[in-house]
Amino acid sequence: MADIFDEVNEIEFETVTMTAEDGSEVEFSIIDNVACGGERYLLVVETELMDDDETEALILKESSINTDDVTYELVEDDAEFDRVADLFAQKGEDYEVEID
């Protein structure tokens, strides 16, 4: 007889691949997205670290859209970051957002 805990439902996340400064590619899982001030933002976690309870999420801002590709950049402005992080914190029922 199978243990009911063996049938844990895993959530599948959409992913986005970013190119690091050294040219390597890093895959991020998209946890959530939000629009603010006419801009679109993604809350992402490095896919390899999804199971780590101490993993830090990043906020990416959509910077351009071409026919086949969307370009994202890290949100580095403190005021913009705080505003968008607050939106994710208000919206996130399935995840916990802590702003440091």
Dist. CA 22–CA 5, nearest whole Å:
41
Does some domain include residue 21? Answer: yes
Q: What is the pTM of this model?
A: 0.78
Q: Label residues 30-60 b or e (16+ Cβ within 10 Å = b).
A: ebbebeeeeeebbbbbbeeeeeeeeeebebb
Does some domain include residue 49? Answer: yes
What is the domain range of residue 34? 11-91
Could you give phi then psi for residue 89, rounded to 5 degrees? Answer: -65, -40
pLDDT in tens, 66-100: 777 888 999 999 999 999 998 988 887 767 666 55
Does some domain include residue 15? Answer: yes
pLDDT in tens, 17-57: 988 889 999 999 999 999 999 999 999 999 998 888 778 88
Give me the number of domains the chain comprises. Answer: 1
Distances (CA, A) of 90 to 11, 62, 93: 21, 21, 8
